[in-house]
Structure 1
């Protein structure tokens, strides 16, 4: 008999059962089909990062956590914004091809070219319950931005946060972090959690003609109210701001000559995001509920500087001004027939953006996106689970697109599942790509392409999931082929614009293995092997690429084929030690890859280690910890062409102390 929807939502595990989440019964996930499902029933591969893994990784920045996920690549904030990508295709700032959600709210911004600004993550690591990473397209559930995958960040329920806590990190490279958190009751029916956090560091080691620093401040409030036995109101609001450093020092023939580069001087890139979200869940019956959500986000940035190399000099602000998003969504989950579950709904989103530099002569530029979606799970017999998904969008700038998905999961035994699936996804361009009138002084730099077609991707995958509870071991394997017939790239032909340039085919194998050989030991290993083939479109060779020489064409070709490392590996070991100490070590090994057309990442390895001592003192508690990142020494994770030395990631370590009252 089908389980009631409300009970299924309640069954999603929380922090109290951390060992069970990680190694016993495979966890329930809700990010793939919008229905809570066992991993063995999900239509594609999912990696779950629980609080134990996040803490043990030693990550200080959220994007660092995704080094543990097979097929993902990232690098730290520096003069270029941090990026997180899955299977490469990382040429655009702010990585728009992987959808990032916090409690269902998209963090993609119209101001940042419909991508994710990792400097403005609106949640502290301490407030994350778990992260569900969908490895593979999920446009059928979340629309066009979920092109390559989905990162769904689920925060801690306010009902489990009680009292006041304060924590601090102090270390080298200017690491100074402070966090205050308070949780408690709001009347008889409500619970709240409030967090303030500030983070500062001196950035990566200054190299040659650039400097680096990072500063951020975060205010985050979440409150939930049980209005009745059938109604729950969820409310969240917050503000996050960050400052990074951009620009270059003056040089001549790779020799510093003093002062700033007149064309791109050292300056601050200031950014902020303010958000508000309210959601109401109403239980219609034991088999049916409705969730209604509204979200408002306002992003602001200033990258303004004076370009004195031009005559006359002019002010320039590439990433500056403001973007605003309104989003309304409704979802209905119910059981239409025995052994069948359905989640369906619709949404409306309005994105508005303005910029004196990028949209010269315009005021606010808006787009509306309407979407209908549905996901059906069918379990006619105990050895088979079928999933059907469909999403259709109407975009005022990009037109209409429909994304289907079908998958079949064969439960060969209770411990072994084979999954076969197909999906089609689309990725629309940003508002800049369609409407920009981007000037540098008196010269037109970038023109919007109103005829730009959405990227299309067809994915076939074969998955295997083993859950050997007797051995406290699991294995998740994904074999995939992803075809993109019209990858868009920014090219120049008199002026720059976005256009379809390449056919891309991504073939690969990735797996994740977890094992708990002893009660005190946990191991997680991930590997990914990827090969990308690219071919220029005939229309591009006859059009926008016709005037390019062989060198730029080769560069664009490599931008596809080497945009992901051909192999990447990670391992995380968590070990409980005598006297209550906890130890963890993480290792990463990556092949060479190309982030942008003007940069490479050489092959590198990296190791992070953490030692912690949780303690109790009467009703009070806390934790003392010591973390070292890159303990093996200097290495590069992002290198620009023509630089004698660039963006060196050096050993960073800090002491942390948390006190709970």
Structure 2
């Protein structure tokens, strides 16, 4: 097992391998309005130009500001909870290849791959296949799929090239975002069209069939700003898997095409309308041995789109609001041919599903004074799903909520935040209120101590609550003998989801004590954030989701405590960044008594199912450096100890050179990833033949 000292050993090694000092700002210190929820103080062009401009010096920038935690734009000294800010520039300069890999930079977050190369991430562990306890948004639009409780990271409709920043609220955030913001919130914020005019082309390729191609074109004028972008991404997945004690090829790649259109139409009085459209299609490969030893590969054909519109209204310098609506449709087709063992017939079946979500939100911000600020609003969401396999038809769910947060500073060294969200849903015929109370004490200039109390709930997904699982047989052969099976459902009613009481909601009570501070170090700036947390999670829904063995129930209680550290040191040409997290998790089985009684091992299995992404020690170290002649380098080390099978440790290196001409610019980069362990951390099937992976990037802008 890797110990804490080994973390520093490899971290020091990664620093030494980097060489010397690139200018990257992991935390944006500029006020912003392009982030959903707080408009009117700066227009998008002004905000983004501030970001793109040459920083005179990092020490001259004000304290980092955050929006996601309360939907109010707040300096970190007033935010009611720890929030990590990952700049898009940091993502690109570290050579991160996929969106889910970004979260290795966040203390307390775990990243893994399950099944046929399905990426998953979690904050403070729990779950594995179904990411049920994180709220994920893109530009204020909900991105997780509520009916099957999933997040399709590989098919996420956003390119890394378009990301401005990502804010991760590390702790329950139902007070701002409602049910399912249970353990935290991820808010992905894309670049404004106002700063992406012209043509931008990028491509990359490397080990394992990895290829990407990106192109965007845009224009900026006083009357209209727009960007049209295309992204192609594909990967062959892991090299091989274990089947019947033999190593065989793994069919687990993917290939997606994404087209997005973003526009801003300025109106009178500082108002504007934002329009976002997107379409993604492709194939997500599934290996036939992972799901039942089928005759054909059960690949998933993806066909998704979204439409979003938002009206930002500026009433005065003290009062502004927005009205937002969006519609998303997820259409996934998955079929295969199967010849069941011990039977002499074959048939085709599927797991096709179509999900849609319609959302409305009204949000109002009023600044009474510098010491009293209020954000409030209401939202409506309608989820629909159609699947013959999972639901034997159609299901729907409706949610309505009202939310608010009052920031009050009675004296200059003390700030209170009082927030709450009231919500009702048809999935559980109840009303829920999720409060949050926080006190931020300014110990000295740029040094703040926080005390945070919050509660949150997670309602079971539509599939957990209302599943009617069965597979319908089509094209049964030989038809002359088994034609009567055509159109029949099998495995129907086998599982115990029939004739049972509805699940209750999961509940969490979280307490946090945290510190955030900044300090000058000669010609540099040190930022440090430390968090201690203690979470009580009750009525956790745990068990197996299988048509043959369905034993879900509100049967597990978890107590989690630990601490997390995030720190950075920034100089003009150098940035050092490090994170560390420690968590201790205690679980207890609290299910109903059964006949015959469950054994200790059977009870422990329910607890273990909610610990598959739980890591005791984890962290990251990064060094980014710039040199003369527009040459830059970056090194990062990521590690996670006690991750199910063993540990995860990887070193990343990136070397890049930029070239500037009067009418265009271009850049080239070389990336190497080195895995320090031979054994796959999450599954024995995730086999990589070569621990050294190589990639090349090239970009052109004019």
Same fold per superposition (TM over 0.5): yes
Alpha-carbon distance between aligned partners in 1 of 2:58 and 2:641, rounded to the nearest angstrom:
29
Give the aligned partner of residue 574 of structure 2. Answer: 521
Q: CA-to-partner distance for each residue in 1:101-147, whole Å, 9 max, x for gaps?
A: 11100101145x13311122111101000111111110000011211
Q: 2:77, 2:446 within 8 Å by CA — same for their partners in 1?
A: no
Does the 8 A contact of 1:97 with 1:115 survive in 2?
A: no
**Aligned mates of 1:195, 1:542 — CA distance in 2:** 56
Asked if residue 330 in structure 1 is aligned to residue 362 in structure 2, the reply is: yes
CA contact (8 A) 1:9 1:36 kept: no
Distance 1:207 1:394, change over 3 A: same
Taking a change above 3 Å as real, the CA distance of residues 371 and 96 of structure 1, as seen in their structure-2 partners, is: same
- Structure 1 gaps, min length 5: 251-259, 594-599
Cross-structure match for 1:388: 418
Find the aligned partners of 1:18 and 1:568 in 2 and give their Cα distance: 34
The 2-side partners of 1:171 and 1:233 are apart by 40
1:107 aligns with 2:143: yes
Structure 1 residue 468 displacement after superposition: 1.0
What residue in structure 2 maps to residue 207 of structure 1?
241
2:403 maps to what in 1?
Answer: 373
Residue 455 of structure 1 is matched in structure 2 by 506
Please state how far the C-alpha of 1:335 moved relative to its aligned partner. 2.1
In structure 2, list runs of 5 or more residues that go unmatched: 1-31, 244-249, 472-488
Q: How does 1:16-35 map to 2 (within 5 A)?
A: 16=52, 24-35=61-72
Does the 8 A contact of 1:636 with 1:648 survive in 2?
no
Q: Is 2:384 aligned against 1:344?
A: no
Q: Is the 8 Å Cα contact of residues 69 and 80 (structure 2) preserved in structure 1?
A: yes
Match of 1:273 in 2: 304
Deviations 1:4-61 (A, max 9, x none): 9756565967532586897753321100010000011100001100123111221111
Aligned residue number for residue 442 of structure 1: 490
Distance 2:184 2:57 in 1: 22
**CA–CA distance in 2 between the matches of 1:172 and 1:427?**
40
| Contact 1:458/1:484 (<8 A) preserved | yes
Tell whether the 8 Å contact from 1:522 to 1:574 is kept in structure 2 after alignment. Answer: yes
The answer on whether the counterparts of 1:632 and 1:651 sit within 8 Å (CA) in structure 2 is no
Partners of 2:306 and 2:457 in 1: how far apart? Answer: 27
- What secondary structure does 2:269 align onto? coil
Q: Equivalent of 1:510, from 543, 557, 564?
A: 564
Q: Which moved more, 1:454-463 or 1:25-34?
A: 25-34
3-state DSSP of counterpart to 1:229: helix
Corresponding residue for 2:317?
Answer: 286
Q: Is the 8 A contact 1:520 1:576 kept in 2?
A: yes
Counterpart in the other structure of 1:51: 88
Give the secondary-structure state (helix, strand or coil) at the position aligned to 2:241.
coil
CA distance 1:163–1:657, shift in 2 (3 Å): same
Aligned partner of 1:254 in structure 2 is: none
Instruction: Give 3-state SS (helix, strand or coil) of 1:91's partner.
Output: coil
1:98-247 alignment runs, 5 A limit: 98-111=134-147, 113-185=148-220, 188-209=222-243, 210-247=250-287
Q: 1:637 to 1:571 in 2, by over 3 A?
A: same
Distance 1:174 1:92 in 2: 25
d(CA) in 2 for partners of 1:315, 1:650 = 39
- After superposition, the Cα gap between the structure-2 partners of 1:418 and 1:436, relative to the gap in structure 1 and judged at 3 Å, is same
**What is the alpha-carbon distance in structure 1 between the residues aligned to residue 690 and residue 506 of structure 2?**
34
Q: Which residue of 542, 558, 562 corresponds with 2:593?
A: 542
Quote the residue 2:699 is aligned against: 658
Find the counterpart in structure 1 of residue 609 from structure 2. Answer: 559
Contact 2:302 2:332 in 1 (8 A): yes
Query: Within 1, Cα distance between the matches of 2:677 and 2:584?
Result: 29
Alignment RMSD (CA, Å): 2.6
Q: Which has the higher contact order (CA 8 A, sep 6+)?
A: 2
SS at match of 1:246: coil
How far has the Cα of 1:265 moved from its partner? 4.7
- Residues 563-612 of structure 1 show CA distances to partners (whole Å, capped at 9, x for unaligned) of 4110001011101123221100110121122xxxxxx3421211111111
What does 1:558-577 align with in structure 2 at a 5 Å threshold?
A: 558-561=608-611, 563-577=613-627
Residues 550 and 171 of structure 1, relative CA distance in 2, 3 Å threshold: same
Residue 124 of structure 2 is aligned to residue 87 of structure 1:
yes
Q: Matches of 1:494 and 1:243 in 2, distance apart?
A: 28
> Counterpart of 2:447?
416
Q: Name the residue aligned to 1:596.
A: none
Alpha-carbon distance change, 193 to 39 in structure 1, aligned in 2, over 3 angstroms: same
Instruction: Output the CA distance in 1 between the equivalents of 2:89 and 2:548.
Output: 53
The 3 A distance-change label for structure 1 pair 495 and 169 is closer
Shift of 1:188: 4.1
Alignment of 1:488 onto 2:541: yes
Match in the other structure for 2:586: 533
Cα distance in 2 for partners of 1:494, 1:653 equals 43
Is the 1:262–1:308 contact (alpha carbons within 8 Å) kept by the matching residues of 2?
Answer: no
Instruction: Please say if residues 375 and 404 of structure 2, whose CA atoms lie closer than 8 Å, have aligned partners that are also in contact.
Output: yes
1:494 & 1:173 partners in 2: Cα distance? 35
8 Å contact kept, 1:128–1:153: yes
Match of 1:317 among 342, 347, 350: 350
Deviations 1:430-480 (A, max 9, x none): 111111110245223542655211100000000001111454011001100
CA contact (8 A) 1:638 1:647 kept: no
Given that residues 117 and 253 in structure 2 are in contact (C-alpha distance below 8 angstroms), is that contact kept between their aligned partners in structure 1?
no
Which moved further from structure 2: 556-565 or 401-410? 556-565
TM-score by length of 2: 0.85
Asked if residue 356 in structure 1 is aligned to residue 388 in structure 2, the reply is: yes
Cα distance in 2 between the residues matched to 1:647 and 1:138 = 37
- Aligned residue for 1:97? 133
The separation in 1 between residues aligned to 2:114 and 2:128, in whole angstroms, is 16
Shift of 1:295: 0.4
- The offset of 1:559, in angstroms, is 2.9
Answer with 221-230 or 548-557: which moved more. 548-557
Indicate conservation of the 8 Å contact 2:114/2:683, yes or no.
no
Distance, in Å, in 1 between the alignment partners of 2:690 and 2:598 is: 35
Distance change >3 Å, CA 215–CA 97, structure 1 → 2: same
> Aligned residues, how many?
631
